[in-house]
Amino acid sequence: MAGRAGLTAQKLIQAGAEMADDLGFEQVTLSALARRFDVKVASLYSHLKNSEDLKVRLALLALDELANCAGEAIAGRSGKDALFALANAYRHYGQAHPGRFVAARYPLSDEIAAASSGVKLSRMLGALLRAYGLADAEQTHAIRFLGSVFLGYTTLESAGGFAHGDVAAQASWERTLAVLDLSLRHWPPSSAAV
């Protein structure tokens, strides 16, 4: 490798991730990144395709870190224990890395999403569900349900949705986890009405 600043896509993404957590995902621009490395903006195009590419790679990084955290959390656990561990890992990642967490929700194309660690997360949920003994046909539904709750709750919480300071968010979270476990243990038959 050559050059004077020793840039790398890796370094740029990493710096972008830190910048996202510090200043917010929307503040992570090519210009800001160039300033950070004391380099001209055009120079970044040797390492990144464009601005969109930067955001996508940040999303992929965040999804990967999230999947790793979740993976470590559920290691050696199963059933309710695994469910709670994964859920807590998910939530804690969002609290520790708010910018990356927003990045993880950046819309990806179908192909890119299919190759991302998002599918790892999805598979972990599937594996975790086996302990609950759901019918095969219900697996996908349950995975979607869990994903919805995790995404929705953490989004609301990180956006200050219910940070009124009054009722403890921690208590709501615990109730949410209990409800998830209860739902999976009593998963409804496919006769549900609209």
Give the separation between CA 184 and CA 146, rounded to whole angstroms.
10
Give the separation between CA 110 and CA 170, rounded to whole angstroms.
34
Give how far the C-alpha of residue 114 lies from the chain's centroid of Cα atoms, to the nearest Å: 15
Q: Which is nearer to DNA, 2 or 75 (CB)?
A: 2
Hey, what amino acid is at 9? Answer: A
Question: Given the rule CB under 7 A, which of 29-37, 101-109, 114-122, 172-180 is the region that contacts DNA?
Answer: 29-37
Contacts of 140 (CB under 8 A, 6+ apart): none
156 binds, among a copy of itself, DNA, none (CB under 5 to 8 A by kind): a copy of itself
DSSP 41-65: GGGGGGT-S-HHHHHHHHHHHHHHH
Give the separation between CA 159 and CA 66, rounded to whole angstroms.
18
Rounded to the nearest whole angstrom, what is the least distance from the CB of residue 13 to DNA in the complex?
14
Rounded to the nearest whole angstrom, what is the least distance from the CB of residue 73 to a copy of itself in the complex?
13
Count CB atoms within 10 A of the CB of residue 30: 19
Q: Binding string to a copy of itself for residues 98 to 127, with x set by CB under 8 A, is what?
A: -------x-x--x--x--------------
Rounded to the nearest whole angstrom, what is the least distance from the CB of residue 17 to a copy of itself in the complex?
20
Q: Summarize as ranges the residues that interact with a copy of itself (CB under 8 A).
A: 84, 88, 105, 107, 110, 113, 138, 140-142, 144-145, 147-153, 155-156, 159-162, 167, 171-172, 174-179, 182-183, 186-188, 190, 192-194
Q: Summarize as ranges the residues that interact with DNA (CB under 7 A).
A: 1-8, 29-32, 38-43, 45-47, 50-52
